[in-house]
A and B are shown apart, each in its own frame.
Chain A
Amino acid sequence: MTTFLQYFVDAVTLGCLFALAALGVGIVFGVMRLANFAAGEFIMIGSYVMYLLAFLPWPIAWTLDLCLVALVAVLTERVAFRSLRRADMSTLLIASFAVSIFLQNLIVLIYGSRARAVPLPAFVNQSISVFGLQIQVVSLMTILLTVVVLLALVVFFKRANLGLQMRAAAEDFRMAQLVGTRANRVVAWAFAISGVMACFVSILLTSRTSTVTPTMGLTPILYAFVAVTIGGLGNLVGSAVGGFVVGFITVAMQAVLPPSLSPYRDAFTFTAVIAILIFRPQGLVSTVKIEERV
């Protein structure tokens, strides 16, 4: 029973991490129909900023980190994507790869390609015992942060004027403009939120691994896109649900696969994802097609 609960906590933690990453890419996809693979580099930059600001008290360092990554995200939109806003999806996708490669190589140029150790506050690596379960503080941080972020996003999208405008832009961008929504402002905020989400992921991820490399953003962003796809493209609730589903599948595979097959965990995980998409090609939480009353 304890082992099962331990796996459950691991699955929730991983699901939370994927959900945060998926929400970040899902928000930009919703507003701009851009599959922004450069979001992986936002995660990587977040970790390098943690590495650089490790001399500061962690609350200050992490707050600055969030602001800086949000700024980088907004700058990529301004420099790379704004002029392509009316381009087709494939052009945007290629542009996002270009931004991703550029940022990755910029970091390689400055810091080299080898991994660097990130000094972390002492509490991060501690564990606490709850009903016989050993739960790492970083896992609790992940779960708590995800709950807070999800609640904050629900309130933002339901109550805030900007949230309403972002939902409108996600549904019909042209019409949103024609009711007075400032397109540049909405897209810039979508990127800023995406940057903040990526930075949360980078803080949580780096708190687990204590290292940073220029390619560290690739794996979480791949999982994030898988989560967005199985959750239902363009649906933020779906993105979060997809993140949890991918997290649970990954941990389940880790639990059930024999040691000889465990190196192929990801292959089994993605097979399960493909199976889900065969049965639910529209995603688990597809946008409801609403019928007119007659």
Chain B
Amino acid sequence: MIEVKDVRVLYGRAPALQGVSITVQEGEVVGIVGTNGAGKSTLLLSILGVVNPVQGEILFEGTTLLRVAPEDIVRKGVALVPERRHIFHGMTVQENLKLGGLFRKDKAGEAASMEYVLDLFPKLKQFLPNRAGCLSGGEQQMLALGRALMANPRLLLLDEPSLGLGPLICDRFFEDLLRLRDGGLTILLVEQSVDRLLAAADRAYVLRSGRVALEGVAGSLSRADVRAAYFGEQGAETGS
């Protein structure tokens, strides 16, 4: 479904991604794990056209996403649940959800998505007329995910969804993700928590210093291997 080939991204002169290649097949959950600064968010932002790679290619369903505006990439079927949620605090929950699907031409489909999101997160139903900024962290995460689903995406990008959430709320959120996966949604998940990521993903990539340090089927990757790739050999020794 999406192919990232040998992508290199620079922030000024500092390399953020150095020849990263990943693939995500339709219906898969692919996890990206790595320390802060490893390039995980940059990879997602490159797919979404927010940052422009200086080298490489990004293909979504066979067509390039390079030099395509972010809003057009979203319209092609790629949606993002960003790090720290970025919901529109001053707008109501209903307005936030509506915004997620506002570009859609099929109004019946938009209404069906709203129904689907409210079935998935019934808690949001009672807060529809409330300001989104008044929601708890967990509810805001539901809203961010619901807003992304309103776009009826074929590929969902999630950037550290567990950040700032308590363990119980986080467990619930990952259960919701698994339900989405079971429904056939393709997911690219960036996460710092190795255990959560390996439990949720079909395949995983470990990024370190802007390069792919390890990749494989999630079930076959041991925590020790991932830790070694995550921190580097020396870090793994001190970390274990």
| Contacts A164-B102, A176-B88, A179-B151 supplied; 12 other A-B pairs, CB < 8 Å | A164-B91, A164-B98, A164-B99, A165-B99, A167-B95, A168-B99, A175-B88, A178-B74, A179-B100, A180-B74, A290-B131, A291-B133
Q: Is the Cβ of B136 less than 8 Å from the Cβ of A294?
A: yes
Q: Across chains A and B, which 3 residue pairs bring their CB atoms closest together, nearest first? A: A290-B133, A180-B103, A180-B74
Residues of B within 8 A of A288 (CB): 90
The docked-state distance in angstroms from the alpha carbon of A164 to that of B70 is: 19
Chosen A-B contacts, 19 in total, with CB atoms closer than 8 Å, are A168-B91, A172-B88, A175-B88, A177-B70, A177-B71, A178-B48, A178-B50, A178-B82, A179-B74, A179-B100, A179-B147, A183-B69, A183-B71, A288-B90, A290-B133, A292-B134, A292-B137, A292-B140, A294-B137
Given contacts A178-B48, A290-B131, contact A165 B102 (CB under 8 A): yes
CB distance from B51 to the nearest CB of A (A): 11
Given contacts A168-B91, A172-B86, A287-B90, contact A180 B102 (CB under 8 A): yes
Residues of B within 8 A of A90 (CB): none
- Chain B, range 119-140, C-beta contacts under 8 Å to A: 131, 133-137, 139-140
The docked-state distance in angstroms from the alpha carbon of A288 to that of B136 is: 17
Q: Does A211 contact B (CB under 8 A)?
A: no
The docked-state distance in angstroms from the alpha carbon of A291 to that of B133 is: 6
The chain B residue sitting closest to A185, CB to CB, is: B71
Residues of A within 8 A of B89 (CB): 171, 290
The chain A residue sitting closest to B135, CB to CB, is: A293
The docked-state distance in angstroms from the alpha carbon of A183 to that of B99 is: 14
Given contacts A177-B70, A178-B48, A180-B102, contact A167 B80 (CB under 8 A): no
Q: Does B75 contact A (CB under 8 A)?
A: yes
Interface residues on A, range: 20 to 34
The docked-state distance in angstroms from the alpha carbon of A167 to that of B131 is: 13
Q: Is the Cβ of A181 less than 8 Å from the Cβ of B71?
A: yes
Interface residues on B, range: 20 to 34
Partner of B90, one of A171, A181, A182: A171
Q: Does A116 contact B (CB under 8 A)?
A: no
Partner of A167, one of B50, B90, B103, B135: B90
The docked-state distance in angstroms from the alpha carbon of A269 to that of B95 is: 40
Q: Is the Cβ of B88 less than 8 Å from the Cβ of A180?
A: no
Q: Does A2 contact B (CB under 8 A)?
A: no
Q: Is the Cβ of B74 less than 8 Å from the Cβ of A293?
A: no
Residues of A within 8 A of B88 (CB): 167-168, 171-172, 175-176
The docked-state distance in angstroms from the alpha carbon of A178 to that of B102 is: 12
> Contact flags (1/0) for B70-98 with A, using CB distance below 8 Å?
11001100001010001011110001001
Interface centre among B50, B71, B91 (most CB of A within 10 A): B71
Given contacts A172-B88, A292-B135, contact A179 B48 (CB under 8 A): no
Residues of A within 8 A of B103 (CB): 179-181
Interface centre among A161, A168, A175 (most CB of B within 10 A): A175
CB distance from B123 to the nearest CB of A (A): 12
The chain B residue sitting closest to A289, CB to CB, is: B133
CB distance from A195 to the nearest CB of B (A): 24
CB distance from B188 to the nearest CB of A (A): 15
The docked-state distance in angstroms from the alpha carbon of A183 to that of B69 is: 9
CB distance from A230 to the nearest CB of B (A): 20
Q: Is the Cβ of B136 less than 8 Å from the Cβ of A174?
A: no
